[in-house]
């Protein structure tokens, strides 16, 4: 009889612990889990600054806006294309910059609220000394490498990113070199730069 009573008491206790809507100790979860493969596309906008410098010159800063489209191939990998541009931070100057890239991101913790990634990209950089004169535009191929951090809220996310920029020689100089069979452009034709941006993305 004692065994039967003990069994009934234990059964009632288990049923109470598992009743719908009841809190079960130890059932609390940690950071939110995001099903990243359910929302594989994203569009992002950002603002930031691009700094470019020639070896024998002072740095020039540009305030830019940026638009990005991304597609997630796997939980840790995204492909992206970005378009950006802006004017020199000194409003008295007319120089403008444009950037377009294709790249890939490796995301270390894709399902967590906070995640960090590294990115690599190739693309084109254009500098125009006169916005109204297309002939003043100088185009360069470029490569980028960097890292970023993101805070995700379901479909919405905030992010910050830093990229190092390595532009190639001006396209016009390369064409002139090919025509005259001369050596490669001088070191003064090279640039180095960096980009820092803040933005937001929407996943769908």
The whole-number pLDDT of residue 4 equals 43
pTM for the full predicted model: 0.74
The whole-number pLDDT of residue 6 equals 53
Q: Taking phi first (over 0 means left), then psi (-120 to 50 degrees means alpha), and beta for anything else, what does residue 10 get?
A: alpha
Residue 191's contacts (CB-CB under 8 Å, 6 or more residues apart) are 52, 53, 54, 140, 165, 167
Q: Which residues of 73-110 are buried (b: 16+ CB within 10 A; e: fewer)?
A: eeebebebebebbbbbeeeeeebbbbbebebebebeeb
The label of the residue with tokens 């970005």 reads 82
Low-confidence ranges of the chain (pLDDT < 50): 4-5, 7-8, 11-12, 14-30, 176-188
């Amino acid at each position: 009889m004692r065994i039967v009573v003990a069994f009934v008491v234990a059964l009632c206790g288990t049923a109470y612990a598992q009743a719908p809507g009841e809190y079960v100790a130890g059932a609390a979860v940690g950071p939110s889990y995001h099903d990243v493969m359910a929302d594989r596309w994203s569009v992002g906008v950002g603002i930031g600054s691009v700094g470019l410098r020639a070896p024998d010159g002072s740095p020039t800063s540009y305030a830019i806006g940026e638009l990005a489209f991304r597609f997630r191939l796997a939980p840790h990998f995204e492909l992206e294309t970005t378009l950006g541009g802006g004017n020199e931070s000194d409003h008295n100057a007319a120089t403008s910059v444009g950037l377009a890239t294709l790249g890939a991101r490796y995301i270390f913790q894709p399902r967590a609220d906070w995640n960090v990634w590294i990115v690599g990209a190739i693309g084109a950089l254009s500098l125009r000394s006169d916005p109204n004169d297309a002939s003043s535009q100088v185009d360069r191929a470029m490569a980028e490498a960097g890292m970023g951090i993101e805070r995700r809220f379901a479909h919405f996310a905030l992010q910050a990113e830093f990229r190092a920029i390595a532009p190639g020689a001006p396209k016009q100089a390369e064409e002139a070199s090919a025509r005259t069979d001369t050596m490669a452009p001088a070191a003064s034709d090279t640039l180095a730069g960096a980009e820092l941006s803040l933005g937001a993305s929407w996943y769908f």
